[in-house]
């Protein structure tokens, strides 16, 4: 893979999770453009730099030896990628402090470098949390590939930071420069809440939760077909989002033991709050993780999964396939993975390559619910 070469460093970077013959690199032209701009303007070892949404550490690792850098992301995989890439390039894994997006930022910051995220609600929440955290004369610069840069990103920067100007496009990347101006502190519209009728629960959703304003149609199709009569089964909600699958299942299975896992820190935060609201002090394990990568083999009886079909801006079934493999490893012999997916994704044939039996539990015009037994 090519090196990231900027005035700050030459870096060998890898994506997370790693694939054999990785088709994508861990940085892009927007990272290069942003780092070249910072080099032109100048930073010192005393400059406090906040990096937001750094995919796998391209920005933070480049700057780590040149400024006091803090990184914040909502992605466990991005945070893990930062650690791996620091080590890969001769630094300590904790050379750049990492703040999950679910936690508060503590300034003041001289520079804020933003990779515009796919979910603009996350960008809005991050900009709201920046209020009062900027040093005098701070530089706030956002970067994106042009095809992934909506007009509303500039409007959010204008609303919460100050007037915005845009750079010329370079290698199909663009920078947005926001000049901080005094603003009244604006409250956050997040988290949002919606109610379900069956089960009758209210669900809180922090800014980066998938389908934050209402139940996604895949989960809606899945809920009526969650397994019953689980007894004391050990159940994982893999890619839990706001936790609705685990919570609905737990309400029907009072003796079962639950684990909720997601790679989004805000999803895990939402799921933990929702579990407590619906189920009080009932025991549960909730964690941000690379799926079930850290789950002990043969330690689960049931896995529930509504898998994603994209990682940031990259669409594909790589993450779903990886989740299916993790589920197979974590399940006991005879255990079952329950999956909902779009019909066209062909999960049945993929699962049949990993599991000894795959059956269709139910179907709608758009979705299938499958049970794969180890």
- State the pLDDT at residue 311: 44
For residue range 16-65, list pLDDT tens digits in order. 888 777 678 899 999 999 999 999 999 999 999 999 999 999 999 999 99
Q: Under a CB-based contact definition with an 8 Å cutoff, are residues 327 and 320 in contact?
A: no
Q: Residues 284, 285, 286, 288: what is their CA dihedral angle, to the nearest 10 degrees?
A: -170
Q: Of 304, 290, 283, 287, nearest to 102 (Cα)?
A: 287
Note the pTM of the prediction, 2 decimals.
0.94
Question: Rg (Cα) of the chain, in Å, rounded?
Answer: 22
Q: How far apart are alpha carbons 368 and 246 in whole angstroms?
A: 19
User: In b/e form, how buried is each residue of 241-260, taking b as 16+ CB within 10 angstroms?
Assistant: bbbbbbbbbbeebeebbbbb
CA distances from 193 to 102, 117, 238, 251, 272 (A): 17, 22, 22, 20, 14
Query: Is 192-373 in the same CATH topology as 4-178?
Result: yes
CA atoms within 13 A on the CB side of 8: 28
Q: Which helix (H) or strand (E) holds 338?
A: strand 331-342
Distance CA 130, CA 81 (A): 24
Q: Which fold has domain 192-373?
A: Rossmann fold (3.40.50)
CB 114 within 8 A of CB 142: yes
C-alpha 122: how far from its chain's center? Answer: 10
**Domain segments of the chain as ranges:** 4-178, 192-373
What homologous superfamily does CATH list for 4-178? Vaccinia Virus protein VP39 (3.40.50.150)
Phi and psi at residue 205, to the nearest 5°: -140, 115
Beta strands 331-342 and 367-373 are: antiparallel
3-state DSSP call for residue 221? helix
Residues 309-361 pLDDT 10s: 644 544 456 788 889 999 999 999 999 999 998 888 888 888 999 999 999 99
Q: What is the pLDDT of residue 309?
A: 63
CA atoms of 57 and 299, how far apart (whole Å): 33
**pLDDT value of residue 74:** 97
pLDDT tens, per residue, the chain with 374 residues: 789 999 999 999 999 888 777 678 899 999 999 999 999 999 999 999 999 999 999 999 999 999 999 999 999 999 999 999 999 999 999 999 999 999 999 989 999 999 999 999 999 999 999 999 999 999 999 999 999 999 999 999 999 999 999 999 999 999 999 999 998 899 999 999 999 998 999 999 999 998 888 898 999 999 999 999 999 999 999 999 999 999 999 999 999 999 999 999 999 999 999 999 999 999 999 999 999 999 999 999 999 999 886 445 444 567 888 899 999 999 999 999 999 988 888 888 889 999 999 999 999 989 999 999 99
Residue among 41, 347, 88 at smallest CA distance from 218: 347
The tokens for 361 are 């539990």
Alpha-carbon torsion 183, 184, 185, 188, what sign? negative
What span, in angstroms and rounded, lies between the C-alpha atoms of 151 and 9? 32
Count the helices and strands in the chain (H runs, E runs): 10, 20
CA 83 to chain centre: 16
Q: What is the pLDDT of residue 275?
A: 98
Q: Cβ neighbours of residue 218 under 8 Å, at least 6 residues apart? A: 306, 340, 341, 342, 367
């Amino acid at each position: 893979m090519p090196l990231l070469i900027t005035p700050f460093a030459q870096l060998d970077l890898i994506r997370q999770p790693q694939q054999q013959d990785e088709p994508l690199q861990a940085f892009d032209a927007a990272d290069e453009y942003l780092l070249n701009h910072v080099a032109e303007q100048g930073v010192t070892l005393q400059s406090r730099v906040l990096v937001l949404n750094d995919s796998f550490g391209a920005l933070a690792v480049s700057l780590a030896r040149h400024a006091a850098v803090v990184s914040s992301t909502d992605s466990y995989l991005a945070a893990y990628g930062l650690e791996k890439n620091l080590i890969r390039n001769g630094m300590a894994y904790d050379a750049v402090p990492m703040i999950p997006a679910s936690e508060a930022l503590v300034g003041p910051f001289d520079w804020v470098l933003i990779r515009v995220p796919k979910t603009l609600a996350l960008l809005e929440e991050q900009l709201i949390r920046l209020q009062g955290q900027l040093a005098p004369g701070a530089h706030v610069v956002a970067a994106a590939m042009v095809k992934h840069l909506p007009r509303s990103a500039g409007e959010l920067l204008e609303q919460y930071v100050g007037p915005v100007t845009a750079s010329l496009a370079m290698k199909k990347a663009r920078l947005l420069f926001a000049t901080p101006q005094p603003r009244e502190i604006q409250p956050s519209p997040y988290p949002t809440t919606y109610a379900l009728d069956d089960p009758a629960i209210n669900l809180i959703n922090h800014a980066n939760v998938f389908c934050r304003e209402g139940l996604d149609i895949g989960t809606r199709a899945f809920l009526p077909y969650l397994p019953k009569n689980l007894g004391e089964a050990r159940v994982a909600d893999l890619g839990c989002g706001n936790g609705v699958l685990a919570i609905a299942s737990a309400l029907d299975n009072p003796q079962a033991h639950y684990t909720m896992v997601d790679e989004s820190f805000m999803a895990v935060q939402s799921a933990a709050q929702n579990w407590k609201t619906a189920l009080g002090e009932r025991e549960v394990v909730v964690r941000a993780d690379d799926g079930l990568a850290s789950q002990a083999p043969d330690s689960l009886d049931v896995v529930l999964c509504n898998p994603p079909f994209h990682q940031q801006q990259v669409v594909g079934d790589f993450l779903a396939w990886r989740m299916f493999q993790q589920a197979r490893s974590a399940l006991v012999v005879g255990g079952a993975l329950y999956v909902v997916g779009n019909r066209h994704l062909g999960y049945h044939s993929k699962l049949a390559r990993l599991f000894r039996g795959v059956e269709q539990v139910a179907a709608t015009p758009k979705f299938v619910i499958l049970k794969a037994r180890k």
